[in-house]
C-alpha cells in the first residue's frame, strides 16, 4: 500500500494515549487536542499518531497517520458525551477532523524517546523514517518548515502567528518549541 503523503506535506506528530482514541479516529474521524497544551499550528496536512505504552506490544511507535480535513474549537464534554462528569469536561479542545487512517508500511519506532509532546515534520522525512529521530527536520530545511508553519498560521487566522519565528533558531530552542523533549517530555489529556 502506498501512502498519499507527498514529500512537502506538513505533518504534526501527535500523541495517541489510548486504543480507544485510535478507534475514535478510525470510526468517527476525529482527534482531540486540549487547547491549553495545543501546538501553535494545528492546520497541517496530516497527523501522525505516536502510540504510548497503553498500546502494549504496539507501544512507542507511529503506525498510522491521517489527512487533516479541518479543525474546530469545542469542549471535551461535546466530544465525549459519555463522560459528562470528567474533571476537564468543560475545557476547550481542538477537534481535528480526519480523513481515513493510513497504515505505515513499517512502524516508526521511538528507540530511546518514550514520551513526546508534539513534533512537526515534513512528508519527505516521514517517508524515510525508521525512528523518531529521523523525523527531526535538519538545519538546512528548518527555515522552510517554519515558513510553512507561518503561512498555515496566517491562513487559518491564528492570532499568535507573530510568536512563530521568522529566522532559524538555535537547535536547542527549536527542539523545545517543536516539542522534542527526549524522555522527559510529558503530555496530559
Tens of pLDDT, residues 70-103: 999 999 999 999 999 999 999 999 999 999 999 9
What local confidence, expressed as pLDDT, does residue 158 receive? 56
Give the span between the Cα atoms of 119 and 135, in whole angstroms.
8
Q: Return the C-alpha cell found at 152.
A: 498555515
Q: Return the C-alpha cell found at 159.
A: 492570532
What local confidence, expressed as pLDDT, does residue 187 receive? 35
Give the span between the Cα atoms of 69 and 30, in whole angstroms.
9
- The C-alpha cell 480535513 sits at 69
Least Cα distance to 99 among 48, 43, 26 occurs for 26
Q: Return the C-alpha cell found at 164.
A: 512563530
Give the span between the Cα atoms of 63 and 60, in whole angstroms.
10
Tens of pLDDT, residues 159-189: 444 455 444 445 555 555 555 544 333 333 3
What's the mean pLDDT when you consider all of the chain?
Answer: 84
**Domains of the chain with bracketed CATH:** 10-178 (2.30.130.30)
Sign of the dihedral through C-alpha 74, 78, 79, 80: positive
Amino acid at each position: 500500500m502506498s501512502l498519499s503523503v507527498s514529500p512537502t506535506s506538513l505533518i504534526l506528530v501527535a500523541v495517541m494515549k489510548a486504543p480507544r482514541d485510535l478507534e475514535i479516529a478510525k470510526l468517527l474521524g476525529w482527534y482531540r487536542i486540549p487547547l491549553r497544551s495545543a501546538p501553535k499550528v494545528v492546520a497541517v496536512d496530516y497527523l501522525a499518531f505516536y502510540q504510548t505504552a497503553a498500546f502494549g506490544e504496539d507501544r512507542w511507535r507511529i503506525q498510522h497517520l491521517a489527512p487533516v480535513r479541518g479543525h474546530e474549537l469545542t469542549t471535551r464534554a461535546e466530544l465525549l458525551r459519555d463522560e459528562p462528569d470528567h474533571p476537564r469536561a468543560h475545557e476547550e479542545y481542538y477537534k481535528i477532523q480526519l480523513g481515513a487512517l493510513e497504515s505505515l508500511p513499517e512502524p516508526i519506532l521511538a528507540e530511546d524517546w518514550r514520551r513526546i509532546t508534539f513534533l512537526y515534520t515534513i512528508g519527505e522525512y516521514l517517508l524515510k523514517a525508521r525512528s523518531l529521530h529521523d523525523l527531526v527536520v535538519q538545519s538546512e530545511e528548518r527555515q522552510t518548515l517554519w515558513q510553512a508553519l507561518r503561512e498555515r498560521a496566517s491562513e487559518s487566522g491564528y492570532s499568535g502567528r507573530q510568536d512563530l519565528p521568522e529566522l532559524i533558531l538555535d537547535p536547542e530552542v527549536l527542539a523545545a518549541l517543536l516539542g522534542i523533549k527526549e524522555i522527559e517530555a510529558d503530555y496530559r489529556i
